[in-house]
Each structure stands twice: as C-alpha cells, then as structure tokens.
Amino acid sequence: MTRWGEIKAIHGAVIKGQPDPEIIATLERLLEKAKSGDIRAMAYAAHDGDDVASFGWECGAFFHQLVAACALLNHGILSSRIKN
C-alpha cells in the first residue's frame, strides 16, 4: 500500500483482473434465457479495458432479426453517450 492508501476504483471502474459484478449478472441472466430457449440468436462485443476487443454472433435462421437487434444496440449505445 502506498502512502495514499489503496485505490479501489475511479469513477466506478473495476480494477483490471477483478470481475465486474454487473457483467457477470448479465451473462448469467442471458445464459439462463439461452438454456430455456428464449434466446434464438445473439451477438456480442467485449473489450478487456486495454487493447483487446472481441465479437461474435450465432443467428441460425434469425439473421435479419439479429441484424435489426444489432442496429438497435448500436443506436442505444451511441445515444447513451450523447445524453451523458
């Protein structure tokens, strides 16, 4: 520990190497929905906070529906930045 004390997080950020409880909860909720058959297509994008981004999708016969959902996601993410 430095003389400044232990830094936990700045502006709500999670320290690298520590799991983000909100991400874990979202993934667990999605996994349960997928296991029950409520999710028929999905796309994901992830970032490690440094320089590694990953993305992927599984859509089967629901290609057009997933493309539309991704457009809504993109709009939602960008709109949230403009409002903040």
* Residue spans per domain, the chain: 21-83
The span from the CA of 24 to the CA of 46, in Å, is 13
List, for residues 15-56, the tens digit of each pLDDT value: 778 889 999 999 999 999 999 999 999 999 999 888 899 999
The span from the CA of 23 to the CA of 70, in Å, is 19
- What is the pLDDT at residue 77? 93
Quote the mean pLDDT of the chain.
88
Average pLDDT of the residues in 66-78: 96
Per-residue HEC secondary structure of 27-76 comes to HHHHHHHHHCCCCCCEEEEEECCCCCEEEEEECCCCHHHHHHHHHHHHHH
- Does the model's pTM come out above 0.85? no
